[in-house]
Each structure stands twice: as C-alpha cells, then as structure tokens.
Structure 1
Amino acid sequence: MIKDYFKFAAISVQHRSLRAWLTILGIVIGVAAIIALITISYSMQASIEEQFEMFGTNRIMVAPQGFMGSAGSTAEGLTEDDVDTLEGMSEYKYISPFLMKVSQVEYHGEVRFPIVVGMPPEDFDEVYVDMGIDVESGRMLRNGDGYSVVIGYRVAGDMFEDDLRVKNKIKINEKDFRVVGIMEEIGNPEDDNQLIIPLDTMRDLYDEPDKVDMIFAQAKPGVDMEDLQEKTEKRLENARGDENFQVISPAQMAEQIGQILGIIQFILIGIAAISLIVGAVGIMNSMYTSVLERTKEIGIMKSV
C-alpha cells in the first residue's frame, strides 16, 4: 500500500512538474538566502574584529569632538599644542599627529579624489610596523622625504587604468610626487585606498601649519589604559581650556563596534526571517492548491 502511495505521488509530480520544480526552487532559494545572510553577518563580524585587533589594546586616539558620532562642535579642532601636551606625558611610547584631506590625485590624465594622509615620516615605522603592516614594494617614508608618497594597495592596482609602480610620478593638488612605496593589502578599503605623504608637505599643500585632524598614541607596556584615558582627558582639558575633543580608548571602540554589529545582525536576521516566511507561504500555497485540485481524486480513493 505504501509503495502505491509513493508511485502515485511520483506520477502526480510528473504531471505537474513545473509546479513541483518551482516549489523545490523556492525551498532552495529560501535556505540559501538564510545561509548567505548568516555567513555575511559572521564574516563582517570577523573582519571588524580583525581590524580592531590590528589597532591593538594599548593605543589611544585623540580627535575633535564628534569623531565617533557624538554631538558635534563648531569650536577649533586639534593643533600642534595638543601634540606637545601629550608628548609631555611619560606614559606614552610615541605620539603621532595626522592631517587628512580628500585631495585631487592625477595619474596619466586620470583624476581621482582619494584621502591623502599627512604624518611625520619618522613615525611611519612605529605606527604601521607596530600594527603588523608593512610595504609590499619600495620603502616607507623617512626623514628628508619631501614630495614622496606611499600609496595604498588598491591605489596601486585599482584606482587608475594604468597600475602604479614604485618610482612612478603622480600629481597631488597639482604638485608632482614620486611613489616610494606601496603598502601591502590591509583589507580595509579606506586604508587600502589612501595615500600617505610627509606631514610638513601636507601642511604646505593646504597652508595649514598648525592644524591636526587626529593624534595617534601608543602607551608604554604595563600602563593601565582606563587611567591613562582619564589622565589624558584632564591634561588636554587643562591645557586647552575646553572639552571640544575626544580621547578614544580601545574599550570605546569595542563598544562602538558592538553597537554597529548589533544593528547589522538585527537587519540581516530580519531579512532572513522575511525570506523564510515568504518561502513557507509559497510552499503552503502550492500544497493547498494541489489538495484543492485533487479533491475528487481524494474522495474516490477514500471510498475505495
């Protein structure tokens, strides 16, 4: 009897093959969508955690108010005086100021507008090597470099039609620069698409002799990061006479990352749930229609 049921079901599927295949396709797509969304969620989490680990737990960033999404301020940002204030603290291994601008970059007649970062050449080794980042070819910036540039991995291979190589010349804000190094791939598009030049050269390009967009600082081994954050905030507040800045610790960054990941995962779970519901409704509709079409057959089989 059971064998006859299976035979009858197989014949029914053959007679309605299009509906059967569409139902199977709906199930496959629904399951694949859920698996893909879950995979994307965990991949994003792993990628962000990897970037956070690269930043390290003994580093602190000082930025103008609003850098991490808090209420903004129209007050003056950071200056070299703030750098001097931090350099007077013995808890730090090094202090490195950054100046960042979206700049016009030209190569072989093509113009792009990536982020150009100015930093002291003498800090290049400490900042990047400490994070496990090195140049893929060429060299890092060093003292005495003027119009030299180290380019990100994707700047070299993807930004322009012609690949950039070490010793090639490019224009930044109409000034000629020579490529002295190409960074290895970091994995973060923002970092892989940036160009790095000496801080003094950056200041000359934009006529901003005192401005600082961000200060990157590494603490000495054994320093308590929470205490250092509080001490840094008090020292800057006393020196500046205002609180229009942020001292961003690894704990704050982890909290921000957790919030972002939570929102992303919530959205992806919602999309997956909708996909699951749509697939289930489609299958239920197909089964219900199939039963309605065969009401007479079912009645005859029951009577037999």
Structure 2
Amino acid sequence: MLSNTEPQKGNWLYLLVAFLLALGLWYTLNAREEIERVVEVRLDYKGLPPGLIVTGGQLNKVSVRLRGPKELLRSMTNRELSYTLDLSGVTPGKNVIPLTSNDKPPELRAYEALEVTPSRMVLEVDKSMETNLPVKVSLRSSPATSSVRLKDVMVTPAQVTVRGPAGVVSGMKDIQAEIPVDLSAEGKALSETVPLLAPPAVELTPQSVVVTWRIDVKRRSLSLQRDVVFDGDASLSIQPSRANLVVSVPQALAKDTGYLAQFQVSVPSDAPMPAGDEELSVPLQVAAPQGGRVLKVSPETVMISRHVTEE
C-alpha cells in the first residue's frame, strides 16, 4: 500500500518555491520603481580670496529635487545635508554663481538630481578696508533730549579700529556711542561703559568704550494748580483743598500734559489726625517727575478738622 505523505511533501515544496519567486519578483519591481523627493542642502563656503568680503546675496541653503529607487529614497534619514561651495574665483562686484545639479553632497551622488532651487546665486563682494575712526557721543532719543546739553565729555579709548566693506567704511566719519538721558543726574559727573553703534557688516575693536559726561538742562518755570490728595476718612476735611505750585521743568516738556500731571500735592499718609473737634496743621507733600523741580508751594500746610455730630 502506497503512502500519501510523499505527494503532500512535493506540493509544499512547489508552494515554497513559488512564494520565493513571487517575493523576489515583488522586491525587484519595487527596487526598480523610482520616485522623486525634495531635500534641503545647507551651503558652506571656502576659498574666499584674502582682502575680499561678502556683502550680500549669500544663501544659507538650497532645495534639491531628487529621483531614485523608491526604497532608497524612503530610507533616507533626516540628517542635515551640506555642500561646500568654492569662492576662490570671485572678484569685487556682483558674481553670478550657477547652482547646478552637478553640485551634490557625497550622500546624494547615488541619486539623479533633477533641479536645484534657486538655480543661481548673485554674490556681492567688496574689498575689505580697515581704518581708525573717532568715537562721537550723542544723547539717546527721548522727549527731553532737545533740552539737554552734553558737557565735559571724555571717551576711552577716543578712537576704535573699524574693519568692513570698503564701500561702507570709506563713507564713515565716526562711530556713534549713545548715552541715556538721565534728568535726575543734572550737574553730576556720570561714567558708563557704552556699546558702539555700527552697520551690520562692520567689525569694531573694541566694541564698547567708557564715557564720562555731565549734562545741563534748559529749563522753564511754570505755575500749576493741584487738588490736594487726602486719603483720610469721611469725617475729616482739609482747608484749603487746592494748592498753587511754581515748578521748573525741562523746556522740551513744558507742554507735555502727561509729564506735568506727575506733579502731585498730598497730605502725607503718616500725618497725625485730629481727635474730637480739634484742628491740626499738616505740611503738604509734593511729588515731582524726573527732572522736575518744585520752586514754591502755596500754601505749605493745610488744616485738618473732624466733623463732630451732635447727639
């Protein structure tokens, strides 16, 4: 009697061979299938001739459209790709540098580069220039700047080294250092380390200087009236309830209502309060904004009294 096990083993063998053939055919078709993908490539630079400086047009990265095997492109990692561009041939002026599909990082040489965006770079190059320029001190812009005059200004160092594009440096006469307007320091000697201001393409050595100065303020006298601020309870009253002020302010702020509103007259919060039907004389307190001076306050005191209700 013949066994059925041998034909069954033969069937399994045929099925295994057919499966392997189908798997190989599927892998071959997918490996040969090509797709496209866009990747970003960072641009690095080398070889810029000595004495030249790039002033504009430099790109940080480009987009490259690739074609290649589906499996390979899908397995590409997201690591940063870079390409180093040789600038040894550039000259002063505008340099048009083509960005072709032949310029590929080594990681992309297995793929076909179809397009690079942008397709060119217009690099602006200038000669480098170095010189020494004096430091010029000016006041930082503020509402009171036009009323302030600098005096006794000293700068250390008085000159700084300037390096940058010749087209920029050749037109510069000095380097600016701006100092703040501090009205409360009128007449006092001030000293501060101040950063220097220069165009972005210009390098400075050093980048800051020590400035010593004083300020004078052009002033104007004004007469103001103010209600006396009193935070006492409702059973207390003050007389008079208004005060007259003579004040001195920077000339530029003489019509600035927001600035003038900071002059305030009040009864001090820690002032003694009357008991019973007595009256107390309390000196007024005057608040002034920065740079403002109170020359006179009238009256200088107010009378505080308590309303006593009859039972």
User: Do both proteins adopt the same fold according to a TM-score greater than 0.5, normalized to the shorter chain?
Assistant: no
TM-score range, shorter chain: under 0.3
**Larger helix fraction of residues:** 1
Larger CA Rg, structure 1 vs 2: 2
**Larger strand fraction of residues:** 2
